[in-house]
Amino acid sequence: MSTDREDVKACCADAYARDVVALLLGDSYHPGGTALTRRLAGGLGLAPDSRVLDVASGRGTTALMLAAAYGVRAEGVDYSAANTALARGAAQAAGLAGRAVFVTGDAEHLPYAHGVFDAVVCECAMCTFPAKAQAAAEFARVLRPGGRVGITDVTAVPERLPPELGGLGARIACVADARPLDEYADILAGAGLRVITTERHDRAMLRMVDQIEARLNLLRITAPARLADAGLNLDAAPAVLNAARTAVADGTLGYALLTAVKSRRDDLPPGT
């Protein structure tokens, strides 16, 4: 993997480990929040003690919710060591340390054996992965035959994105390298994962844009130094947020849910 790809992953990991990002995005870090996570989980056939992997688990919100609400054994992997430490602390505080565990690792090189998970989830993160097909292949590799993958993610038509939604900053914001819904489905299919559900949740994206604007305006008043320390370009924020709203309205930008199942057949792609 090229140094450029590693640099992108490091930048994303560093950004999402910052407290100011948590203040702007909220606990779930993704459109739709835990309500959409529950909808996603409903399509995965989870049973008590199922082994579930949360890829790009961040501070542990999704994995902890799945462990608490569904009784699964949740494991989270995140590129950021800081997020891993925070997730472990959250699990301890919630009394879930024995049911939710977290490690630092790369979605494109998952630190697990073949076929050990009953389900894999990945929320609002595949859009940031430089090698999406490789990550999908890793999802399939660690999943048992008949197991399911659940993804929620930003969708975009890259060639139609306005200039305000391009560049590294927009990539970290889950926009610049997002793909159309059909392309995500094709990436999963290429890894031997048969897509069984796709849903659009574009209104969730609009709600998150509104929430970010409201939280940003509040932080301008209550904690301007924290915004300055984070290196956020506040002058550009209104144009970026308005560009995002327009892009959702014209279908360029959105949010989607996908579930897929790993084939039980023997004719899977090599490595899965």
Q: Residue 194 belongs to a domain with what CATH number?
A: 3.40.50.150
Instruction: Select from 117, 148, 153 the least CA-distant residue to 43.
Output: 148
Q: What is the DSSP string of 93-147?
A: HTT-TTTEEEEE-BTTB-SS-TT-EEEEEEES-GGG-S-HHHHHHHHHHHEEEEE
Residue 119 within any structural domain of the chain: yes
CA-closest candidate to residue 155, choices 11, 31, 4, 7 = 31
pLDDT in tens, 91-104: 999 999 999 999 99
Q: Which of 127, 107, 121, 144 is nearest to 54 (CA)?
A: 121
Segments forming the whole domain that contains residue 203: 3-262
Give the C-alpha distances (Å, rounded to integers) separating 72 from 76, 205, 222: 12, 28, 39
Q: Return the biggest CA–CA distance within the chain.
A: 59
**pLDDT band at residue 77 under the 50/70/90 scheme:** very high
pLDDT tens for each residue of 93-139: 999 999 999 999 999 999 999 999 999 999 999 988 989 999 999 99
Helices (H), 150-201: 167-172, 181-190
What is the total count of domains within the chain? 1
Is 267 part of any domain? no
Q: Within its chain, how far is the Cα of 244 from the centroid?
A: 18
Answer whether residue 220 is part of any domain: yes
Within-domain flag for 272: no
Domain contains 132 = yes
Residue 10 is assigned to a structural domain of this protein: yes
Question: Is pTM beyond 0.75 here?
Answer: yes
Q: Is residue 270 part of a domain?
A: no
pLDDT over 90 for what percent of the chain? 58
Confirm whether 269 is domain-assigned. no
Average pLDDT, the chain: 85
Q: One-letter amino acid identity for 217?
A: N
